[in-house]
Each structure stands twice: as C-alpha cells, then as structure tokens.
Structure 1
Amino acid sequence: METVCVFCEALKWKDETPGMCCCSGKVQLPPFRDLPILLNSLFIEEHPESEHFLNSIRKYNSAFQMTSFGAKQVVEGNCMPTFKVQGQVYHLIGSLLPSPEYQHTFLQIYFVGDEEEQINIRCKNASVVNHNLIRQLQRMLHDCNPYIKDFKSAVESLPSDDKDQFQIVIHAERNPVNAHKGCFNKPTVNEVAVVIVGQTFEKRDIVLQATDSKLHRISEIHRSYDALQYPIMFCYGEDGYSISLPQVHPTTKQPLNKTISALNFYAYRLMIRQNKQNHIFHCRSLLSQFLVDMYAKIETERLNFIRNNQKTLRAESYIHLKDAIDKNDADIRQLGQAVILPSSFTGGPRYMHEHTQDAMTYVRHYGRPDLFITFTCNSKWTEITEALLPRQKPQHRHDITSRVFHLKIKKIVSLLTKGSLFGKPRCYMYSVEWQKRGLPRIHILLWLENAITPDRIDNIICAEISNPKEDPILYNIVKRNMIHGPCGNFNTHFQFIKDGKCSKRYPKPFLSETQTGDDGYPKYRRRSPSEGGFTVTIEKAQGTWVLDNSWVVPFNPVLLRTFNAHINVEYCNSVKSIKYICKYVDKGSEQATFAMENECDEINIYQTGRY
C-alpha cells in the first residue's frame, strides 16, 4: 500500500478510488480507544492463550453477546474459510431477567448474582472455551463496558415489589429529537434509562421489559446494534451506524445537511490507517461474521429506500406487474401490495435478467464470443500476503482479498480492451462471484473484431506444461495454478468427483494437433510424454503424483505470466454453447426455494432467498 489519504491517513493501493475511505474528508469518525490490557495481549498474541482465543473467537464472542444473531448459517464441508448465511439477517434481544420457567441466556447472564455461576453458564453455552479465560474476559467487560454497567445499575434501581411497571430503554440517538446536528456531540447521559410503562418511544429505540418471555428485533440502524452483538470487538460499547450521523466539511469540520450512509460508515471503519491501530482486523473468523452482518445492514438500508420510494420508482408501470393484475383469471388470494425490486439494484433478479438479455443481444448482433476467460484470485499474491498481520492467513482478511482482486480485475479488463491483447475488441462482459472455497473469481466473455481462426488457437491458448529449462518461471506458475486435481483413480475424494468420475472430464485425451470439429469447446493440443510433452510432480496431503499434459487446464501464457493465478482461457467454438455461457456469466447468487405470503413483494422474496 503506497498511497496515503490526505484527509484520514488511510493506506491504499495506487489505483484504488480516492474517496473510498472517507468520501474525500466528508466522513470523520472518532478513532478506537486503546484496548484493555487483557484483550490487547490476546489480539497481538502476547498472551499464552492467544492462538486458542483467536481460533475460537466466535465462540468467545457468543459467550458474551447480549443479542442473538438471527440468520441461517450455511456450512459446506469440513473446512469452510468463509462465513455464509441464507435469508434475512437480524438481531434479537430479550428481557433483562428471564421468566421463572426459563434459564438465563445472552444479556440475562450478566445479572446472575454469583460470578462462578455466570462463568459456568457461559462455558456450557459455548463449547471448547477456556474456563479461566472466560473469567478474565467477564471481569474485563464488567469493568469497561458501559452497557453492562448501566443495565446492572438500572436493574438494581428497580423496585422489587413491582418490576412489571418499569422498562429499560436504549435510545436510538444520543441527541434529543430535533436537536441541532452540531450540538450534543458528546454523551451527557447514561447509555440506558429506566422509564415507566406506557411512555412513548421513538420507533427505533430498544425497549426492554424487566421480565418477559418474548424476543424483540433490533433496528439495523440503531447505534447499539453492533456493540450488543460483538462485545469482544466493541468492548467499550462504541456506537455503530446511525442514520442521523452527518457528513462534515473536509476543511472546516462543520456538519453538512447530508448524512453518512451505512456503506460510507463501514468503509471508513474497515480501512488500515497510518500509525493507528484497528483491532477489528485481528478478529479472524469474527471479522468474517461482522463483514457479512454489516453488508446485510448496508443492503437492508438500500432495500428499505426502494421499499419506501415505490412511487418515485413508478413501480405500477412495470409491464409484468400490470399483466398479472389485468388477468381476468387472477387469484385474488395471490394479490397483495406490489413491491418492485428494480433492475438498478445490483444482484437482484431484474438486474441479472437484464444483463443476461444484454449478453444475448451481443450474440444476436455480433455472433458468438471469441473467448471465455475465468480468472480466479490467488491468495498468495504479494499484495495480499504483505498486508496481512503476523500469523494471519488470507481467509482471515477477506477485506484485503476483495480489494486486491478488484484491482486485478481492472488490470485484466484494461489489458484485454485497451491493450488489445488478443486483438481489437468489439465488446465484452463479465461477472464476479465468490467460490465456496473462499476466493473470488471473474467470468469474462470477449468479442473480437477479427475472429480467431482455427490456425491461431495454438498461438493464444495452450494446454501443455511449459519447458522447465527454457521457461522455468512459466513452468512453476503452471504447476501451481493450472493443474487440475488430480482426481478420479488418483484421488477419489476430490471435490469434482461425481459417481466415481471427474465432472470436468479429466484427464483429457492426448492430441498432436488442436481439433475444432466437435460442438462445444475445441480439443486442444496435448502431447504425451513420448511425443515430447513434459510432466510435473504434485505433492499434496493425500499423496504425490507425476502428472502430464492430460491434466492441464487451458491457459494463455501472457495472462498467466502477468497475473500468476488460475486463468482458464477457452475458445468458443459452437453457437450451441453460447446460451450456457451467457447464463453462467449472469447466473447470480444462489437462491433457496420457499413460500411467501405476499408473492408480489419482490424485496421480501430477494431477502428471504439470498445467500
């Protein structure tokens, strides 16, 4: 990272957007305070239990969280480097004290009178945690977390004879309603307050009964949303995003009329800054959960804007909606208030459908694309490894992986279009997705003004291992990135094995010359070792294998040298493959099958089915 923001001192790579960190000085948030000695030593690995704590940090956070995380977590296989959920994401909170028939959970555990009993409950709820470390963390939070202090003070102030007549409220805003934005910048009251039942509150306020068996959903735009769910990450109860946070003038620091969006807020928080510590980046798997949680918040803010501005979007004019309502045989039970998710929302069904139609329009106008390129992120790029903290792995920092890969996408697209690597392009399209193993990849379709003729295929696409003596650099890149598997009889547990066979049809047959006669992809030249082809030795945990050209994924040598990553380049030989390719590029995210009460609410359908 060689560029420093002049406004907020964020470290960035040269080609990143100048305002991505702080909107060119319009977003200014207070820095994080120095952590308590215990937590700091655990994060910087100076504590004897640091490695255990960081590897199990989500377990430790769940032992102390005051709200429950409401989402269906998706677990795929034994090793899953990403945090993945399906459907809507929300936080629930219960009462301060449990009903007589229930056990203490979440926030209620803090009010168990005996310290050892608190520790035992936490250890029982969160497996594999260290009993003594739980005790130390519990004492630390009781000392430094303002919510815990104020909750306990509030409970102690409640009359013992009539607790049902009181409620606890956490106001959504620190400032009084309708107060000037420049006033009340510092908290002047406690985080929580005791109020009498029947008092009116703001819609976003968190109102807790002293004793209640019901769970209540917390508004995503409540300032306490983050601190109540992630006490390990925000041990001082730092405020999260709120819709009333104003932008400021970069020079005068005076508040502006515009407010900060959730995207701006978390973009600011998730930047590495010069000479400033950001403990969030030490949180490993908890950081992954936090990123997913906050992205869901960002997307929810956008969806709520769309839901509340349907008239502005002129939703009633959408042709498919009018067709459904105008049908004479329409079932009245299937009609509800229509909520349209327009094509301007990235990732929505209309957005994906529109881009698929664009791709088919390209095919109708320009014919089949010439090349289909799949480019996968390499977690061993120096830009990624140098940005990691000590002892971190790439799967601990998806923020770095995403930023670096975005820069690589800009570079490869520029090389294919402005650089005319394969010839002057007519048009192109691409789609980015995250693989289940935790790395992003991009699918590119490229149309060229001068079509690739069969005699030029071998000059552009190679499916053979390079000569290790003449080109050792390319040989090693192919060995690391472009060898499939191995699978089949070599490795029956490989991910692409279906019904005992490789779903990608490896190993491929040996050929002396490239053949383009069949439908689909051509059969590339793959010379056997007896014909002068080279071999590589692959060592993995499952064993050691000597593999030949039949296991090589087709690539372009120039792209492979430039990016040092898995880059599969395919020649589009048949028009029959175009529909599949275009759908694959714009297939969108995975969706679940479900039933909805109001099938006219496209936002609800999207939120419930998304991954």
Structure 2
Amino acid sequence: MDSLLPLEGEQPRFAQLYMFDGDDELNHMLGIFEQGDSDNNLDKEIVEGLRNMLDSLNELVRSFRYARDMIQQHPKRQFRLNLIAAGEFDYQMYNPPTAMEIVALILDDIGHNYDGRDVIVQHRGHSFQRINDLHPLYMAMQYPLLFPYGQDAFHSNIPFSQSPVRELISKKCLTMRDYYAYQIQQRCVESNSLLRGGHLFQQFVVDVFATIEEVRTGVNLPASFVSGLRYLIQNYQDSLAICRSYGYPMLFITFTCNPRWPKIKDAQRMISGQKAHGRPDIVVRVFRLKLRMLMDDLTKKAVYTVEFQKRGLPHAHILLWLNYPEISSPSSFIDMCISAEIPNKDLNPIGYEAVWSHMFHGPCGLINPRASCMADGKCKKRYPKEFRSSTSVDEQGFPKYRRRENEITAVLNGVELDNRSVVPHNVDLCVKYQAHINVEYCCRTRAVKYLFKYLNKNSDRTNVVLESAGSDSLYEGILIYIYIYIYSS
C-alpha cells in the first residue's frame, strides 16, 4: 500500500482512490484503465455501481471514507490509518473495530511504535508499506470484490470444532490450509461469490497457496509433505527400487486432463457463466478421480507424477512395468499396445472420433507456420512424421511407429491430416477416458531419468522484464526479474 494521499503532481492509485468524492473518484478509477480504443474502456455505470456497493457494505472502505472526511476537515494536520491486528491477544476482544468506531490516528499516537502485524497507511509518504499476508485483513484489502463486506480472513486463533463423523483430533486451532480449503467449497445455500471470480479467483487461489507454503516451509518438513525436499528424495529412491526389482519400464504414458469432460461441464452449470479455466478446483478434482481410475485399469506396478501445463491443465507422466513374457519382437509388441494411425471410420467410428478429438498434433509445419510448436521454421516435436509401412526400434531403443500411407484422413481446423500427424496412443484408453493419452514404448534408462527429473524438479519459473508502455526502454531504467511460480499439487 501507498500513503493515504498521493504526492503533489502524482495520480492517485490503489487505496488512494477511496480518498476522493463523487466524479473525481470515478474519473480517477476510469483513468487508470483508459486506452486509445474506446471499446476496451471500462463502463462508468458498472464502476459506479461497484463503488456504491463497497461504500454500503465494506467496512474497510468505510474506514478509508472516514479518514478522507477527517483529512478534508483538517487539511493541515497529518493523519494515518491504523487497522490493528489481533496479535497475541484474544481475537474476540482485540478484533479490528467496525466502520463507525474507526478513527484516524494522529502521528505519534497509540500504535506508532507497535511492532505487530498491523496495516498502517500514512498521510503522505515516499515509499510503499508492505501488508503482511498473515494479517486478518490482507485478503479483504487485496480482493475487495471477492470479500465485499471487508470481513476478516484467516488468523491463528480460529478454534477447531470436532465433528461427530470423524475421529477426535488433538489440534485446538484451525490451520491455514483447513481454513482456505473450506472457503473454496461450493455450497448451494450460499451465493458463492468467491467462486464466481474467474481469473481473480485463480489469483486468489495462487495467493493462498503461496501463503500456506511460505508458512509451512519454515519448519523441518517430513517426507509426507508433497513437493518438499524429503518427499522428492523418497519418491526418487522408491522409483529406483522399483526399477532395480522389475527392470526397465516398458510403457511411458502421458495422461492429460480434458476440460470438456461431462463431470466438469455439469459442475460448471451449477453456477451460470462458469468456464473450466475459471474453476481450477473442479478441474483438478475430476482429473484426480480419472487418474485413479486409469491407474486401477493399468496395474499397481507404476510410477507417476502430476504437473500443470502452462495453460493450466494438469497432466500425469506414468512409467508402467508390465508382467509380460520376454519380448522377442519389440515391433509386434508395440503394434499390439500402441497405434500411431487413424482408425477406420467405418469399422471403428467410436475410435475414429476419439482419435480425431484428442490425438492429433497440429496442424503445424508449412500449413501453419505460426503454431506454438514451431521454432526456426520447424516443429519442435518433429511433426508431421514420415510414412512407415512397419514399426521398428533403432539401436538406441527409440521406436519408429507404423504410419501407413492409406486413404484414411481427418479434417482438423479446416486442414486435412493423415497418419503423419497422429500422436502415439492406445485406442481403448482414448475411448474410455475421452482425453489426450500419449502412449510411448520405452525400454531404456533415458525414459526413467525423464520421469525422475520431474519428480525432483521445483516449480516452473520464468524471467520477466518490466518495460514502459510504448517504449523499448526498461521501466525507469531498472531491470527487474520476477519469478512466477506455477503451483501444482
């Protein structure tokens, strides 16, 4: 947060917008997002409606309004707004006051030297002040539209209530993870405004996850903590033990979530206007159920890890050991389990539809040089492949699947594709799970190392450079690197 009022000659921003009246406030709000194209500008009536809603409901907004009135009545005096946290005291007694009780504290008054987790906003200042993410008001101030009443969020003294349907638990207070897991559940008796937040809800979930991780990683974590160092090391050692006992794995399967699954669609219909990308909680739950079903269908001799694609869909990498007699002809075994061809539409219409919907790569190459897989004029996945009359395995153990040059084709995005663009798959799995399931033959250590790399890697990250709008120069001449983590379960 910045100061209550902007410095001379600067435009108001953040909470400073609540320190103005009427049209001045609306104009400042609209001016932040004003663009040359009028179609992208904000609707003044909607912004005004949101402003009026927060004024009537949100206790925090009322606090800033009260501070505004005090500043207007006494323009020569210096003020600061202090929203006191519970600290180590009884939360029921020392909770933040309501709007009618909040006053503007004069500088050097009570709370000036308080070292607790308070939110303090000065009258005017040259530097920002960080709000601790463990403060009970952090979420309400960070996401005013998700918490329109300005209500408190998690604090460390929420009592844990025992349930008659579960065993007695020794803990007395609710953990942060328990609290926010409860918050994101969908309930028919509530408005579920949090779940209607779309991209803002996603930001909230990531923010919550980051806060929980930051708190939990401050201790010596056991191996049961997912993504912790001991967890990764234990899984790595278990995978090596399986490989040592059963030999090399034979199949490498990538199972990707399908946002069009009926269960995801049905859950979206419960709240109008919902889309899969706006409900990551529903997507990961359904994917977890499908993954368990897939693992039960395959075998217990498997190692897998779950991660998230850059577009947000979870997928699992699976190494599978088969209780299969010694393979004298890898080609015949591969043809029995894996196909890289389009099924005959007349003989197998269901299989044809599943492969057409989920197992094509592209179109890319000369047909679509702007595809995301293209680099330096070539497909990074080396599609389209070459036609091959039979399956073979090269000296390094890499398979070259059968892709016969027949007349079976499929039209995808207006482009006619043949067997050269088909991703290796198992038709039965694609039909049952209606998802992208890439099945590859492997009998070498390289595939094991590939999976183990994912078991032991940290969160995805990227470097971002902030630049001023309409210019190639760096923002204020400063190069800023920001690590953006893609959190996964």
Q: Equivalent residues in 2 for 1:588-599 (5 A)?
A: 588-592=458-462
- 1:129, distance to aligned residue in structure 2 (A): 0.9
**Is residue 75 of structure 2 the alignment partner of residue 156 of structure 1?**
no
Q: Which residue identity does 2:460 align to in structure 1?
A: E
The Cα shift of 1:281 comes to 1.9
SS of aligned partner of 1:134: helix
The one of 199, 206, 228 equivalent to 2:110 is 199
Contact kept, 8 Å, 1:245 with 1:259, in 2: the verdict is yes
Q: Any residues of structure 2 matched to 1:46-85 within 5 Å, and which? A: none
Q: Encode CA deviations 1:25-44: one digit per residue, 9 max, x unaligned.
A: xxxxxxxxxxxxxxxxxxxx
What TM-score results when the alignment is normalised by the length of structure 1?
A: 0.67
Would you say 1:506 and 2:383 are equivalent positions? yes
Q: How far does residue 155 in structure 1 lie from its aligned partner after superposition?
A: 4.3
1:464 equivalent in structure 2: 341
- Equivalent-residue separation in structure 2 for 1:509 and 1:481 (angstroms): 21
1:118 counterpart residue number: 25
3-state secondary structure, aligned to 2:217: helix
Match of 2:427 in 1: 557
**1:572 equivalent among 434, 437, 442:** 442
Q: Which residue of 280, 285, 290 maps to 1:403?
A: 285
Q: In the aligned structure 1, how far is the partner of 2:150 from the partner of 2:249?
A: 54
CA RMSD of aligned residues (A): 3.0
Whether 1:240 and 2:130 are equivalent positions in the alignment is: no
For 2:182, the equivalent position in structure 1 comes to 268
Aligned to 2:312: 438
Distance 2:452 2:442 in 1: 12
**Cα distance, 1:147–1:580 mapped onto 2, change above 3 Å:** closer
1:524 paired residue among 375, 382, 401: 401
Distance change in 2, residues 1:550/1:212 (3 Å):
same
266, 291, 295: which one aligns with 1:413: 295
CA distance in 2, matches of 1:231, 1:464: 53
C-alpha distance in 2 between matches for 1:593 and 1:485: 28
Q: Number of matched residues?
A: 450
Q: Who is 1:29 aligned against?
A: none
Q: Which residue does the alignment assign to 1:296?
A: 210
Q: Is the 8 A contact 2:235 2:455 kept in 1?
A: no
| Deviation digits for residues 397-440 of structure 1 (CA, Å, limit 9, x no counterpart) | 1221111111112221222225xxxxxx3xx2211111122211
Query: 2:164 and 2:238 mapped to 1: Cα distance?
Result: 44
C-alpha distance 177-296 of structure 1, shift in aligned 2 (>3 A): closer
Q: Which residue of 2 aligns with 1:258?
A: 172
Q: Percent identity?
A: 36
Q: 2:255 aligns with which of 350, 355, 375?
A: 375
Query: Which blocks of at least 5 consecutive residues in structure 2 are unaligned?
Result: 35-40, 465-481
Match of 1:98 in 2: 6
Contact preservation (8 Å) 2:59, 2:98: no
CA distance in 1, matches of 2:274, 2:442: 41
Task: Quote the residue 2:417 is aligned against.
Answer: 547
1:537: which partner in 2? 411
Q: TM-score with structure 2 length normalisation? A: 0.83
Matched, 1:393 2:263: no
Q: Deviations for 1:134-180, whole angstroms, at most 9, x for unmatched residues?
A: 2222222222221121222244346727633x53211223xx9543x
Q: Find the residue that maps to 1:223 and give its secondary structure.
A: coil
Query: Are 2:303 and 1:429 equivalent residues in the alignment?
Result: yes
CA distance in 1, matches of 2:96, 2:126: 32
Secondary structure of 2:428's counterpart equals helix
Residue 519 of structure 1 deviates from its aligned partner by 1.8
Correspondence 1:134 to 2:41: no
The answer to whether 1:220 aligns with 2:133 is: yes
Of residues 349, 369, 391, the one that matches 1:492 is: 369
- C-alpha spacing 1:577/1:247, structure 2 compared with 1 (3 Å): closer
Q: Does 2:234 align with 1:284? A: no
Q: Which amino acid aligns with 1:524?
A: Y
Whether 1:448 and 2:361 are equivalent positions in the alignment is no
Q: Contact 1:444 / 1:585 at 8 angstroms: preserved in 2?
A: no
Structure 2 CA distance, aligned partners of 1:277 and 1:475? Answer: 43
CA shift at 1:246, angstroms? Answer: 1.5
**CA distance, structure 2, for counterparts of residue 576 and residue 279 of structure 1:** 48
CA distance in 2, matches of 1:360, 1:163: 70
Paired letter, 1:414: D
Letter in 1 for 2:62: K
State the partner residue of 1:210. 123
CA shift, 1:494, in A, is: 1.1
**Which protein is richer in strand relative to its size?**
1
Distance 1:585 1:499, change over 3 A: farther
Secondary structure in 2 aligned to 1:404?
A: helix
Cα-to-partner distance string for 1:529-575 (whole Å, 9 max, x where unaligned) = 1xxx622122x2xxx22222121111112211221100001110434
Provide closer, same or farther for how the CA distance between residues 571 and 147 of structure 1 changes in structure 2, counting only shifts above 3 A.
same
The 8 Å contact of residues 257 and 314 in structure 2, kept in 1 or not, is answered as: yes
**Distance 1:451-1:210 versus aligned 2 partners, 3 A rule:** farther
Instruction: Determine the C-alpha separation between the residues in 2 that align with 1:288 and 1:499.
Output: 34
C-alpha separation in 1, matches of 2:317 and 2:290: 13
Equivalent residue of 1:260, what SS? coil
